[in-house]
Structure 1
């Protein structure tokens, strides 16, 4: 990527429309400046902005952050063998389609894919954390998957294929707990040894046990 990007180049990089980038720039929602009448964006500024938007590990974790064991059920943990991003996301959505309050699978699927179109939730290190907040949901719910091979088309920040996916669904009024859980998960999965153990799992139970063990130690 160039050190200085045009509006068109930035739109392609972020996978959003040029109109969206233009609106963000005019409203001061994205770092950039005008040279004459044309918008220009510095690569370093954009990468920092993207990291702040997508990397929950940058948020501090407090002592009252929800534990993974309090949110993740064994039956919501799965070993997948998907080849595409959409296939993996749909598998996670299926696991969470019975969340109390949801009008049905369609409501969750629309929210997840709408969020994904805004910007990829692949945060790097082979990890993706799709996450949504819905008015119809009153508690935080989570599904966790390890894919047998890397998902090439996930378009993560570091372009590394995704193997670990965590879907988090929360209520609109649960912002603080939601952010803290995102941070806790990202912090745990930064551990390279733990990730390697997850990659080598042969069953959903193994995945769940390793996660809970790691969470208790963190």
Structure 2
């Protein structure tokens, strides 16, 4: 989907003037179509997540009947993994791909290559020791249900983060559809700005503590969407 400047401004909760300024500064992923600026929804959300920029809940309100898991469900499916090995970005991504709970028919080598290709476009580190390696085109993976794996590294590594801090925690999203991919990325983006969820991640909490905070975040998001629907009905 190609978004216009006013659409991007609404989703990022900034003015159109700010969008134009970011374009001029070459900060924002943008395309020109018939001399008009257009944005790709996935690229925009990835950029906002890596820059820790607040996003509109509309990022999670796309129409359709695609299955969307809660953040807790996605984390339970992907698992929480501790002391994951690797001495650099390549070896860490290899370790993560190897431990992902994927169907046998999924080509892990292909997934590894796609993750590396995504990193070549720009680091998925979002700061404060966290990275969110994921693929730009999730529909090519042919998994049956979306998942999100949380990996705590045994040794922090250089991930070319903007803040220069080594990465010790990685969230990896794998999804069969773009909609579910965007939805989980949105929820995670909100979660990393939530003191409770971000806190349990920062202190390397237990699996059940992490799942519990994810569930509480899901409940707050559901309540927020319910209130918004009631106000507009």
> Matched residue of 1:168: which SS?
strand
1:68-127 CA distances to partner (integer Å, 9 max, x unpaired)?
A: 22222377211125442223212211122633541x321211111111112111122322
C-alpha distance in 2 between matches for 1:139 and 1:194: 23
Alpha carbons of structure 1 residues 198 and 212: separation in structure 2 relative to 1, 3 Å: same
Partner of 2:76: 73
Bigger CA drift: 45-54 or 69-78?
Answer: 45-54
C-alpha distance in 1 between matches for 2:114 and 2:108: 10
Q: Select 1:85's aligned residue among 85, 89, 93.
A: 89
Equivalent residue pairs, number: 172
Contact 2:148 2:174 in 1 (8 A): yes
Partner of 1:60: 56
The gaps in structure 1 that reach 5 residues or longer are 1-30, 33-40
Alpha carbons of structure 1 residues 148 and 199: separation in structure 2 relative to 1, 3 Å: farther
Contact 2:78 2:101 in 1 (8 A): no
Alpha carbons of structure 1 residues 165 and 70: separation in structure 2 relative to 1, 3 Å: same
Bigger CA drift: 62-71 or 90-99?
Answer: 62-71
Is residue 47 from structure 1 mapped to residue 53 from structure 2 by the alignment? no
- Give, in angstroms, the shift of residue 155 of structure 1: 0.7
C-alpha distance in 1 between matches for 2:79 and 2:99: 6
Is residue 146 from structure 1 mapped to residue 145 from structure 2 by the alignment? no
Contact 1:100 1:137 in 2 (8 A): no
Partner of 1:158: 163
Alpha carbons of structure 1 residues 63 and 74: separation in structure 2 relative to 1, 3 Å: same
C-alpha distance in 1 between matches for 2:78 and 2:181: 21
C-alpha distance in 2 between matches for 1:200 and 1:42: 34
Partner of 1:5: none
1:25-62 CA distances to partner (integer Å, 9 max, x unpaired)?
A: xxxxxx99xxxxxxxx9897233559944333644344
> Matched residue of 1:144: which SS?
strand
1:170-189 CA distances to partner (integer Å, 9 max, x unpaired)?
A: 12xx2222111111112112
TM-score using structure 2 length: 0.60
Which has the larger share of strand? 1
CA RMSD of aligned residues (A): 3.3
Contact 1:112 1:131 in 2 (8 A): yes
Alpha carbons of structure 1 residues 176 and 74: separation in structure 2 relative to 1, 3 Å: closer
Contact 1:189 1:195 in 2 (8 A): yes
